[in-house]
């Protein structure tokens, strides 16, 4: 086993995962850049392959196609539709080993931190959605413990 090498620049190696279901029944698509640790979040009611592709298109439209995406074996990600979409954009998919969340550790750690923040927001303010944007702004603009720089700065 070898450790994952740090990408040489931003937005070429991503990790994605779903967090949820949330108390409202919704899910959050979490997209993280391995280099900068920049995070994008999308609240989703439906988590089909087609809807996941639409949300990724929105993010990729802004930042461009990554070279690789690391993800788990959720049915949306292993579908032919998702594979065709990524293949047409020359995005290589790295599937993690089933029942081994550590293989996609970056996004799993981020999910744990995000879930903790959302539980606190829901307890204090009764609405986790209203705090999601504030969390994302704070996270992407604060120096990261690994890189020493804010994700926005590195991206």
Model confidence over 79-137: pLDDT tens digits?
A: 999 999 999 999 999 998 665 555 566 677 777 888 888 888 777 877 788 788 888 99
Q: Residue 4 pLDDT > 80, yes or no? A: no
Q: Is 6 exposed, middle or buried (CB count within 10 Å of its CB: 0-12, 13-18, 19+)?
A: exposed
Distance CA 37, CA 54 (A): 22
Q: Which of 34, 28, 27 is nearest to 12 (CA)?
A: 34
pTM of the complete model: 0.89
């Amino acid at each position: 086993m070898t450790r994952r090498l740090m990408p040489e620049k931003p937005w070429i190696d991503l990790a994605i995962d779903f967090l949820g279901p949330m108390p409202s029944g919704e899910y959050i698509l979490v997209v993280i850049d391995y280099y900068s640790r920049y995070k994008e979040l999308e609240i989703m009611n439906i988590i089909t392959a087609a809807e996941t592709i639409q949300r990724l298109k929105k993010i990729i439209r802004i930042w461009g196609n990554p070279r690789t995406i690391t993800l788990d074996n959720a049915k949306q990600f292993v579908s032919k539709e998702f594979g065709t979409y990524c293949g047409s954009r020359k995005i290589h998919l790295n599937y993690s080993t089933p029942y081994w969340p550590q293989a996609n550790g970056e996004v799993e750690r981020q999910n744990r931190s995000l879930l903790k923040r959302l539980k606190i927001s829901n307890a204090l303010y009764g609405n986790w959605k209203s705090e999601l944007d504030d969390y994302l702004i704070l996270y992407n603009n604060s120096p990261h413990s690994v890189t020493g720089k804010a994700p926005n700065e590195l991206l």
